[in-house]
Amino acid sequence: MMSVLGRNVAFLSTYPPRECGIATFTQDLVNEIKKIKLINFAGVIAINDNKTYEYDSDVKYQLQQFVREDYVRLAHELNESDIDLLIIEHEYGIFGGESGEYLLDLVDNLNIPFVLTVHTVLSNPNEKQLMILRELGEKSVKVVTMAKNTIPLLEKIYHIPSCKITVIPHGVPNFPVLPKETLKERYGFKGRRIISTFGLINPGKGIEYGIEAISMVAKKYKDVLYLILGQTHPNIKREFGEEYREKLQKLVHDLGVEDNVKFVDKYLRKKEILEYLKMSDIYMTPYLNKEQAVSGTLAYAAGLGKVIISTPYMYAEEILGEGRGLLANFRDAKSLAKHIEYIFENPEKRLQIEAEIKKLGNTMMWNNVAYRYVIMILSVLDIKSREEVVI
């Protein structure tokens, strides 16, 4: 039986040094929650792929992603532990089995309550994806989503009742960063108009359309520089090598824009990410997938008050609505180029957009986001405690 005062909370997620956006997300969230001290952080259960990682002391358990029996073993260990609540960071691809179905073996054997944080909400899931998220939603005590426009999908497609759903935005780190022009000079980009895209590189990013747009813009603005920041996604690299990056590099060569496009092929630390973003005049996400429910990279750019030009995937539509950014057409380099030139030619409009996105960005700082998680966790634990007392 759970103690009325039980506030021991653990997280199931990928975790650094594993290179994964959800890993970074969880580490940032955990670091801020520990500062608040209203709950007892009971550790992270790190999801391992086929590599061995040297984790820090926050990781108390490890789950082997592709070993099905490990999910049942973990459930039994958690049931025997003093953990009162499990937060599961959910993305289909980070769990084993078809569409991550092994996770169901864990929740089917779990006796403690769990909260589900959804990092992807598909509007057209296949049968397996639909079944998995419906079952997870049914068995969870709360479902956290990062965008309001996913609520109708969760309700209508996945049959998750509205009383279970809560919206908490993606967090943004709040580090002090040097001024834009100082950083440009330090990185050797003085006098350049910088546009950037960052994140683990994969074909879904649509970077080829960004490069084509830059080739159009560069005819008029020869000082434009497009920074493509980040390594190839480990899963893509494992299966296809550097095929996509090489295709992009060939496109740069064929379009004759070697002076206007630069690849920074490394896994960026948070400080580097923020510095590259700070020196950017425009942040661009030419993603191809309309259904993308959240983008940590776009959230970071919003937090820094950047002008963002994006294709209208779900998360971008919500974040950039009401004058907070510009939306281009999917798979349309001309549309991207038109928006870039509009910003270059209208400095007053750029300042207006920056001011609007910064207002939203301030609410997304990790300290504010973590506090909302803690309030949600305390309310869940309080309800569960009262249920135990009644029993």
Amino acid identity of 96? Answer: G
Answer yes or no: do 167 and 217 share one domain: no
Amino acid identity of 120? Answer: T
Q: Residue 38 pairs with which residues in a beta bridge?
A: none
**Structural contact between residues 285 and 295, judged by C-beta atoms closer than 8 angstroms:** yes
Give the per-residue pLDDT at 20.
86
- Find, among 334, 333, 302, the residue nearest to 316 by Cα: 302
Residues with pLDDT less than 50, the chain: 1-4, 389-391
Answer yes or no: do 118 and 187 share one domain: no
What the block records as the tokens of 157 is 């497609």
* Gyration radius (Cα) of the chain, Å: 22
Alpha helices in 280-365 (DSSP H): 296-303, 314-320, 333-345, 347-363
* Length of the chain in terms of residues written: 391
What the block records as the tokens of 367 is 């300290």
What the block records as the tokens of 23 is 């890993």
Answer yes or no: do 17 and 77 share one domain: yes
Give the per-residue pLDDT at 385.
62
Q: In terms of residue numbers, what domain contains 338?
A: 180-363
Answer yes or no: do 189 and 156 share one domain: no
Give the per-residue pLDDT at 292.
74
Answer yes or no: do 104 and 205 share one domain: no
Number of compact structural domains in the chain? 2
Is residue 308 a part of any domain in this protein?
A: yes
What the block records as the tokens of 211 is 């490069």
Q: What is the CATH number of the domain that holds 307?
A: 3.40.50.2000
Answer yes or no: do 17 and 29 share one domain: yes
Edge-to-edge strand ranges of the sheet holding 307-310: 261-264, 224-229, 193-198, 282-285, 307-310, 326-327
Is residue 310 a part of any domain in this protein?
A: yes
**Structural contact between residues 92 and 98, judged by C-beta atoms closer than 8 angstroms:** no
Measured CA to CA, the distance from residue 266 to residue 272 in angstroms comes to: 11
What the block records as the tokens of 312 is 């209208």
Answer yes or no: do 383 and 255 share one domain: no
Answer yes or no: do 233 and 347 share one domain: yes
Answer yes or no: do 91 and 36 share one domain: yes
Is residue 297 a part of any domain in this protein?
A: yes
Measured CA to CA, the distance from residue 343 to residue 65 in angstroms comes to: 45
Answer yes or no: do 64 and 130 share one domain: yes
**Structural contact between residues 176 and 215, judged by C-beta atoms closer than 8 angstroms:** no
- What pTM did the predictor assign? 0.85
Measured CA to CA, the distance from residue 390 to residue 384 in angstroms comes to: 10
Is residue 65 a part of any domain in this protein?
A: yes
Is residue 3 a part of any domain in this protein?
A: no
Give the per-residue pLDDT at 387.
60
Is residue 2 a part of any domain in this protein?
A: no
- Find, among 329, 368, 285, 344, the residue nearest to 353 by Cα: 344
Answer yes or no: do 131 and 238 share one domain: no
Give the per-residue pLDDT at 388.
55
pLDDT tens for 72-112 read 999 999 999 999 999 999 999 999 999 999 999 999 999 99
Is residue 106 a part of any domain in this protein?
A: yes
Give the per-residue pLDDT at 5.
52
Measured CA to CA, the distance from residue 146 to residue 42 in angstroms comes to: 24
SS3 category, 67: coil
Is residue 69 a part of any domain in this protein?
A: yes
Answer yes or no: do 259 and 142 share one domain: no
H helix and E strand count, the chain: 15, 13
